[in-house]
Amino acid sequence: MSLFIEAEKKWKNFLSTKIKDYGSLRNYDYGPKEINYVSKISPFISHRVLFEYQIIKDIKLEFKGNQVNKFIEEVYWRIYWKGVLENKPCIWENFITKKVDNYDFNNYKMAVNGETNIPYFNSWVKELKTYNYLHNHTRMWFASTWIFVLGLPWELGARFFFKYLYDGDAASNLLSWRWVGGLQTKGKRYLFSPQNLKKFSNGRFSVNNISNQDILLEDDFEVIISNDIYHSNMQKSSNTLIMFENDLHENSLKKIISKYQKVFLIELDKNHRQIEISDSVAQFKQNLMDEFSLKFSNIEIISSLVLKDKLKGISSVDLIYPSIGDNYDFIKSLQENNKLIVKNLVRPEDLYAWKFAKRGFFKFKENIPAINKFINEPNLIWK
């Protein structure tokens, strides 16, 4: 089945059959082969096959009142996390450049191979590698166990998730690990009890004790606010457009894509990646790109290894902004080393929402009504 069709089917099925129960049942993980009450559309949202703001609009059209507000809030968490990283790109830069070498390597190898003395953790490792997915509550359990029970660096855990998750986008994954570790909300660590594990795993995992270590994490760098992204818009300034696999929403891009003579959809080569991804994740991304490119006559999929040659004689390009992460780091390096002018094309919805993500989520949440109003305005370019 087409991945784009699969994405729509999953979303429409969740919207019509499960979303009303999401608020009360979202934290239960019944197992990978059982019916759970989460949407499982995150791999498609993280590649923008499904567009966050359109999802919110779909919900608002279908439901009145606040009966499904919990799921809307979860979608806004993703938008918020992305905004946090745009406002504080130093968090990503530190994560990428920091050398992590003070840890028990044998303990780490047992963890990533699912060979620890913690059976439930081992089962999560197997599930992650098999399905390239974990239930959101299980991700929190996993990260907490990794940091506070196994005593491993959170950065290595975040990289492990990046390697295997289909939805391992920079903001949600990186900042969620920081949140569990007590770095994102200072001093507020996520620790769980045996009772919590048993209840929300529906009795699949039952232990008498969880041996958390008293670990307090602190950043060794200053978190500084950046406003660079807010100089962007969606106005064409070149005849050449480049884009990546993590923004493939046809409806919001088709008008702008049609204006270019040539569009290069970049497959980031492993030699240009700072974050390792598994073969299965790489194939998932490739399949999405292949399918998206068939929708347009002017798109060519190319490896990042040949982009420099493809741009010979071209002094400026437009970029469908891929947000902070590996893709954008590659473009910045290309730009700096080749005197290339790159204009970031950023959707007005993102720019409007991200400006509220400079503090905690509850401050952001106060502005959700304003964001809801903005995304329904008729002047957005893809209407």
Q: Rounded to whole angstroms, how far apart are CA atoms 185 and 279? A: 34
CATH number of 1-87+348-383: 1.25.40
Residue 272 DSSP one-character state: G
- Mean pLDDT for 111-128 is 98
Mean pLDDT of the chain: 96
378 confidence band (pLDDT: 50, 70, 90):
confident
Which CATH number among 2.60.40.10, 3.30.70.1520, 3.40.50.261, 1.10.579.10 corresponds to the domain 107-200? 1.10.579.10
Q: Rounded to whole angstroms, how far apart are CA atoms 341 and 343? A: 7
In the sheet with 240-244, reading across from the earlier edge strand, the strands are 299-303, 262-267, 240-244, 316-320, 341-345
Q: Are 49 and 345 within 8 A, CB to CB?
A: no
| Token couple for 162 | 């990046």
**Structural domain spans, the chain:** 1-87+348-383, 107-200, 234-345
Q: Rounded to whole angstroms, how far apart are CA atoms 83 and 171? A: 8
Which amino acid is it at 367?
A: N
User: Residue 322 has what pLDDT?
Assistant: 98
- Mean pLDDT for 260-282 is 97
Q: Rounded to whole angstroms, how far apart are CA atoms 81 and 170? A: 9
Closest CA to 111 of 75, 76, 143: 143
| Token couple for 47 | 């590649």
Calculate ∠ Cα 356-82-141, nearest 5°.
115
Closest CA to 94 of 269, 282, 324: 324
120 confidence band (pLDDT: 50, 70, 90):
very high
Q: Where are the alpha helices (DSSP H) in the chain?
A: 3-17, 19-25, 42-45, 52-62, 69-87, 90-97, 105-112, 119-131, 136-144, 154-164, 170-181, 194-200, 250-257, 279-293, 307-310, 326-338, 348-354, 361-365, 368-374
| CATH class (in words) of the domain with range 234-345 | alpha beta
- Mean pLDDT for 44-52 is 98
User: Residue 55 has what pLDDT?
Assistant: 97
In sequence order, the β-bridge partners of residue 320 are 345
Please determine, for residue 331, whether its predicted confidence score (pLDDT) is greater than 90. yes
- Mean pLDDT for 262-267 is 98
Contacts for 319 with CB less than 8 Å, ≥ 6 apart: 241, 242, 243, 331, 342, 343, 344, 345
- Mean pLDDT for 35-39 is 93
Tens digit of each residue's pLDDT (9 = 90 or more) over 190-246: 999 999 999 999 999 999 999 999 999 999 999 999 999 999 999 999 999 999 999
Per DSSP, the three-state class of 345 is: strand
Please determine, for residue 381, whether its predicted confidence score (pLDDT) is greater than 60. no
251 confidence band (pLDDT: 50, 70, 90):
very high
